[in-house]
A = this chain, B = another copy of it.
Amino acid sequence: MSEERRLEVLRAIVEDYVSTREPVGSRVLTERHRLGVSPATIRNDMAALEEAGLIAQPHTSAGRIPTDKGYRLFVDRLAEVRPLSVPQKRAIETFLSEAVDLDDVLTRAGRLIAQLTGQVAVVQYPSLRRSGLRHLELVPVGGERLLVVVITDTGRVEQRYLEVPSAAAGPDGTAGTVLDDGTLGELRARLNAAAAGKGLTDLPVTFARVVESLDPTLVDLATAVAETVVETLGEENEERIVLAGTANLARASMRFEQGLSPVLEALEEQVVLLGLLTEMAVDGVAVRIGHENRLEGLAQASVVTSGYGSGDEGGDPVAILGSIGPTRMDYPGTIASVRAVARYLSRVLPH
């Protein structure tokens, strides 16, 4: 009863079950996989695999299906990486290169993954907290409001409205003195000169230094702007997520035993989903199978993710993307797709 063949049997079971969606029995296994032994032998192996908790039978006298643990072993040791085909790679490249801005890139990445895997895709926006400031823009809006536009290293653009602090307004109550183009231009120039390239950690100090050196009438305004910028970059809940391919879910709905509403619900809880993603932040590809996900709703689902935007290899990735599908998914294919898109994305994004 060679250990080796037993694993081969496990692989066969996983592959068959994934492609047919039916519990697989000893007979079909021998027919479809040239294992060189008879069904009876397979049955012995299967008994051992079941003993080890790698496979299970839905009911007596039914075929076997892999358990979460079985999938785990398959992914870790049995799955062969299957690189994408050249046309596929080319498709990714062209489709992504057609994007006009960051939003567009991420949306397209989502659609790509959804289409390649036939599952749901999740793409997290580049984390603001890990981004540096590229440029800061101040636009007066109406008399008393200022639009603060923050452009990050990663090409993300965030905007916040700011009520101009009343103390900054002229003595007659109008804000004319401060909000004219010249003053604002100078403030912008100073702030930008000092802060360019700096990240969340350095910014407060940097800004403080700039504020000190300013004309007293500008201090209040500058402080408010600085605060807004730091807040914007520090906001945790402002993290965004793109979902794509929800329709795929419905099409594959029979694959989820308990219906797909728990899954859809989990997907709608963006906060929770974000937690899941950041938890999985690694540079390479990570796989969570079934109950390995702490989320109730995803107990029947597996999540395949990869970090992206970590520059040219190494370092913490700037955000995560991935694909979510039934535990009985095509792991090698999904992993390949997710990785491929993540890599291209890393290359395309400004770094």
- 24 residue pairs from A and B, CB less than 8 Å apart: A100-B160, A100-B161, A101-B158, A102-B159, A103-B240, A134-B139, A134-B141, A135-B139, A142-B350, A147-B151, A149-B149, A149-B151, A149-B157, A181-B189, A185-B185, A246-B246, A246-B267, A247-B261, A247-B268, A249-B264, A250-B250, A250-B259, A250-B264, A251-B261
Main secondary structure of the interface of A (DSSP, over half): mixed
Q: Is B250 in contact with A159, judged by CB distance below 8 angstroms?
A: no
Flag whether A202 is at the interface (Cβ < 8 A).
no
- In the assembled complex, the Cα of A246 lies from the Cα of B268 at a distance in Å of 8
Given A247-B261, A250-B259, A264-B250, A137 and B160 contact (CB-CB distance below 8 Å): no
Q: What is the chain B residue whose CB lies nearest that of A270?
A: B107
Q: Is B246 in contact with A264, judged by CB distance below 8 angstroms?
A: yes
Q: What is the chain B residue whose CB lies nearest that of A104?
A: B238
- In the assembled complex, the Cα of A139 lies from the Cα of B153 at a distance in Å of 12
Flag whether A260 is at the interface (Cβ < 8 A).
yes
When A and B form their complex, which 9 residue pairs have the shortest distance between CB atoms, in order from nearest?
Answer: A247-B264, A250-B261, A135-B139, A250-B264, A247-B268, A247-B265, A101-B159, A137-B137, A251-B261
- In the assembled complex, the Cα of A240 lies from the Cα of B101 at a distance in Å of 13
Q: Which of A106-148 contact B (CB under 8 A)?
A: 134-135, 137, 139, 141-142, 147
Complex interface bits, A218-253 against B, C-beta within 8 A gives 1, otherwise 0: 000000000000000000001010001111011101
Q: Which of A151-198 contact B (CB under 8 A)?
A: 151, 155, 157-161, 181, 185, 189
Q: Which residues of B contact A101 (CB under 8 A)?
A: 158-161
Q: What is the chain B residue whose CB lies nearest that of A238?
A: B100
- In the assembled complex, the Cα of A268 lies from the Cα of B249 at a distance in Å of 12
Q: What is the chain B residue whose CB lies nearest that of A297?
A: B247
Nearest chain B CB to A130 CB, angstrom units:
19
- In the assembled complex, the Cα of A21 lies from the Cα of B118 at a distance in Å of 33
Given A134-B139, A141-B350, A260-B250, A159 and B160 contact (CB-CB distance below 8 Å): no
Given A135-B147, A247-B265, A251-B261: 12 more A-B contacts, CB < 8 Å: A101-B158, A134-B139, A137-B139, A137-B149, A139-B151, A141-B350, A149-B149, A157-B157, A244-B268, A247-B261, A250-B250, A250-B259
